[in-house]
């Protein structure tokens, strides 16, 4: 629970944990509780990777690296490309940071307008009242919300408006209704599993100074998931 995170954080320091991956909704709190943070975590305003060393906690963000490596398979060159980002949570911050570094023209939509406007000021992007306002002109759509975890979730926008030129990325680790609708329209689509793997590989390097090949990690995860589904 969010209210218990600080207690857990301090407990990990005491018992000698060497490293942690942090997930929602604790990424912003993790950054605030850490002793030092790298430039990326500071700029993003959230940490997903913690390293415990000599009594101090170092905060990093590897989500943005995971996103860039994963989305590169959909759209290798992001410079100057128009991108629609859906959502204004902790994961959105890393995506917006990565897109800004790559020189993309970013539009941001969120159901809570005030939160989106705040992020637009921070990451130099443009707020839209409805995704459909810019859908035809963007090349890439990135969903950073939790909508799609369940098939019965209401759609983020009218998916019938998708066109074959769209590339769709969803950070959820499954084929969501958004991605299914995109495939039916002839769009290139990608779920969030590779983003998870790439950020994890970078986190592992931070903790151990060891480089792990992507195919090794992907193979282990696929084998685990097959076993889990059979159980």
Position 112 scores a pLDDT of 94
Report the distance separating Cα 192 and Cα 35, nearest Å. Answer: 30
CA distances for 215 relative to 64, 88, 123, 147, 201, angstroms: 20, 31, 33, 29, 11
Report the distance separating Cα 77 and Cα 140, nearest Å. Answer: 11
Query: Among 27, 51, 69, 105, which one carries the catalytic annotation?
Result: 27
Position 230 scores a pLDDT of 60
Positions of CATH 3.40.50.720 in the chain: 65-193
Q: Is 27 one of the annotated active-site residues of the chain? A: yes
Domain 65-193 class in CATH = alpha beta
Phi, psi of 58, rounded to the nearest 5 degrees: -105, 130
- pLDDT tens-place values along the chain, 231 residues long: 888 999 999 899 889 899 999 988 899 999 999 999 999 999 999 999 999 999 999 999 999 999 999 999 999 999 999 999 999 988 899 999 999 999 999 999 999 999 999 999 999 999 999 999 999 999 999 999 999 999 899 999 999 999 999 999 999 989 999 999 999 999 999 999 999 999 999 999 999 999 999 999 999 988 887 676 565
DSSP-assigned letters across all residues of 138-199:
-SEEEE-SSTTSSTTSPPSS-GGG--TT-EEEESSSS--HHHHHHHHTT-EEE-SHHHHHHH
**Fold held by 2-61:** Rossmann fold (3.40.50)
CA distances for 33 relative to 7, 28, 161, 177, 195, angstroms: 11, 9, 43, 37, 25
Q: What is the pTM of this model?
A: 0.92
């Amino acid at each position: 629970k969010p209210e218990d995170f600080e207690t857990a954080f301090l407990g990990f320091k005491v018992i000698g944990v060497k490293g942690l991956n942090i997930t929602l909704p604790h990424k912003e709190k993790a950054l605030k509780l850490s002793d030092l943070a790298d430039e990326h975590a500071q700029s993003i305003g959230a940490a997903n990777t913690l390293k415990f060393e000599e009594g101090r906690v170092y905060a990093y963000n590897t989500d943005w690296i995971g996103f860039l490596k994963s989305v590169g398979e959909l759209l290798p060159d992001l410079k100057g490309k128009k991108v629609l980002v859906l959502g204004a949570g902790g994961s959105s911050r890393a995506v917006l940071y990565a897109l800004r570094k790559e020189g993309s023209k970013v539009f941001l939509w969120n159901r809570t307008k005030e939160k989106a406007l705040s992020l637009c000021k921070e990451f130099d992007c443009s707020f839209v009242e409805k995704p459909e306002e810019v859908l035809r002109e963007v090349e890439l759509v990135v969903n950073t919300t939790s909508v799609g975890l369940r098939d019965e979730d209401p759609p983020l926008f009218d998916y019938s408006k998708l066109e074959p030129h769209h590339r769709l990325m969803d950070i959820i680790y499954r084929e969501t209704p958004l991605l299914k609708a995109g495939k039916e329209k002839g769009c290139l689509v990608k779920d969030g599993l590779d983003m998870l793997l790439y950020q994890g590989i970078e986190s592992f390097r931070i903790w151990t100074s060891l480089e792990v090949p992507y195919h090794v990690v992907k193979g282990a995860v696929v084998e685990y998931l097959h076993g889990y589904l059979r159980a």
